[in-house]
Amino acid sequence: MKKILIAVAVSSLLGAAIFSGCQSSAEKVKDAEDNVMIANQELNRALADSIYKFRKDADEKIKAHEQSVSDFKARIAKEKKENRIQYETRLAEIEKRNSDLKKKLDDYKEVGKEHWENFKKEFSREMNDLSEAYKDLYVIK
């Protein structure tokens, strides 16, 4: 008799646990949708953080280029006229490229991760090219 009572009690508890642990398919779908929504929000937040950090770093590089150009202009003021004209022409090109990059960065609108990755790669390449052009200017001197 004890064995029967124990068996009935165990099976009752087991049945209650199974019944209360099961979710309906509608609840499972709702939970899955909630999880997807949360994951998308986290992805969007990570993308926004990436864009913010990249813009901040790029702005710092652009400002550093502007300062370097300003310093270089002061240095070449003492050069011979023919050398100074050559440097000023090259500096004007570098300043325009720097200005164009700044405008490109300011005008960028957040579209999506793939578009952002393409923009970031292209912008970084252009920024590196500009840095090299500025370094080449120092080599000429």
Is the pLDDT at 17 greater than 80, yes or no? Answer: no
Interatomic CA distance for residues 71 and 100, integer angstroms: 20
What is the pLDDT at residue 58?
94
Q: What is the pTM of this model?
A: 0.68
Interatomic CA distance for residues 98 and 96, integer angstroms: 5
What is the pLDDT at residue 98?
93
Which residue is associated with the tokens 């004007």? Answer: 92
What is the pLDDT at residue 13?
56
Q: Is the dihedral of CA 126, 127, 133, 135 positive or negative?
A: negative
Residue 98 near residue 66 (C-beta atoms within 8 A): yes
pLDDT (tens digit, 9 = 90+) per residue, 89-136?
Answer: 889 999 999 999 999 999 988 777 889 999 999 999 999 999 898 888
Comparison of pLDDT for 79 and 23, the residue scoring more: 79
pLDDT (tens digit, 9 = 90+) per residue, 28-86?
Answer: 888 888 888 898 888 888 888 999 999 999 999 999 989 988 888 888 888 888 888 88
What is the pLDDT at residue 21?
58
Interatomic CA distance for residues 136 and 49, integer angstroms: 34
Count of residues in the chain: 141
Q: What is the largest CA-CA distance in the chain?
A: 114
Nearest CA-CA partner of 136 in 92, 76, 94: 94
Domain spans, the chain: 25-140
